[in-house]
Amino acid sequence: DSGVTQTPKHLITATGQRVTLRCSPRSGDLSVYWYQQSLDQGLQFLIHYYNGEERAKGNILERFSAQQFPDLHSELNLSSLELGDSALYFCASSPRGDPLAKNIQYFGAGTRLSVL
């Protein structure tokens, strides 16, 4: 158990809909990262938040957005869903900023999104 909690585990929805994926980082971790894993693209970095602020963006579509709340949990919002958005979405957390933490990211179990 990595200590990172993602909900829900599975999500089935229809095209055009909007969903929210939730991530609770390990206790005390300030950084949250979101990754997408689809069959043809592998693991792709989406976005990084540190203590409530956006730090880096990767291959994240404009239809997708994220935020990190004062209690450090994060949400990834996916809207106007398309069939191609079906994927596993992983959240990771890291203490970042602590040299002893060695820049290790701890991943949650993921949310499997199926868009029908």
Partner 1 sequence: DAKTTQPTSMDCAEGRAANLPCNHSTISGNEYVYWYRQIHSQGPQYIIHGLKNNETNEMASLIITEDRKSSTLILPHATLRDTAVYYCIVRVLMNRDDKIIFGKGTRLHILP
The residues binding partner 1 (CB under 8 A) are 2, 4, 31, 33, 35, 42-45, 48, 55-56, 58, 88, 90, 92, 94, 96, 99, 102-110, 112
Q: Which is nearer to partner 1, 55 or 79 (CB)?
A: 55
Query: Partners of 87 in the beta sheet?
Result: 113
DSSP state of 52: T
State in angstroms the smallest separation of the CB of 99 from partner 1.
Answer: 7
Pick 47 or 115: Cβ nearer partner 1: 47
Smallest distance, Å, CB 16 to partner 1? Answer: 26
Quote the CA–CA distance of 90 and 83 in Å, as a whole number. 18
**C-alpha 53, offset from chain centre:** 15
* Chain center to CA of 70: 17
Q: Are 3 and 27 in contact (CB under 8 A)?
A: yes
Distance CA 58, CA 54 (A): 11
Min CB(112)–partner 1 separation in Å:
8
Least distance (Å) from partner 1 to the CB of residue 56?
5
